[in-house]
Amino acid sequence: MSRFHLTLLQEGHALQILDWKYPPPYDFYNPPTDRPVAEYVNEFLKPEYQFHAVLDEDREFVGFCSFGIDGQVPGGNYQDLALDIGVGMKPELTGRGFGQHFFDAILQHAIKRFEPEWVRVTVANFNQRALNLYRKFGFTLLDQFEDNRLGFRYSILVRQSLTTPLSLVD
């Protein structure tokens, strides 16, 4: 599973995401259940959030991403102009070595489609797998903050989109 491509997220994808369950400590990423399913599906389908489905080479739905404000976490400093990227991978695929190719497809799509000068990701500090992945792609730490709602610390990482190759930086 090394080739991924993106397409706009559809209702069926959103419904699948709402059934995903991650093991601890990643259960923090489990979809909330405090509102009707239709409300969450509508959030995924809002054009301003630019949610995309990530499909593998067999066109199987393996994850999603968002481009824009949905990738921001309340409490962070997002005053600098950058394209925010949010990412989610199907729980049973995490930790199995697919992350580099998965994120490479997302990053290449973001740069080609939106042509940002800077790209930005925000990740919970306990998620060392994601932090290590983003560093491999040339992202550097910009800021850290605490989300007072949930009590988690986050890192905001940035990368200039066109100064280094689109694929992995070693």
Any idea what the CATH number is for the domain that residue 46 is in?
3.40.630.30
Residue 156 has pLDDT above 60, yes or no: yes
Q: Please report the beta strands in the chain, taking only residues with DSSP state E, as ranges in sequence order.
A: 5-8, 52-55, 61-67, 83-89, 118-124, 140-147, 152-160
Report d(CA 77, CA 91) in Å as an integer. Answer: 29
Amino acid found at 161: S
Across the range 161-170, mean pLDDT stands at 55
What is the predicted pLDDT for the residue at 33? 84
Evaluate whether residue 165 is within a structural domain: no
Q: Please name the residue that has the structure tokens 């989300």.
A: 147
Mean pLDDT of 131-159: 94
Q: Is residue 166 part of a domain?
A: no
* Structural domains in the chain (count): 1
| Lookup result for tokens 């890192």 | 155
Q: Is 10 exposed, middle or buried (0-12, 13-18, 19+ CB in 10 A)?
A: middle
User: 58 lies in a domain?
Assistant: yes
The residue-averaged pLDDT of 126-154 equals: 93
**Residue 170 pLDDT exceeds 70:** no
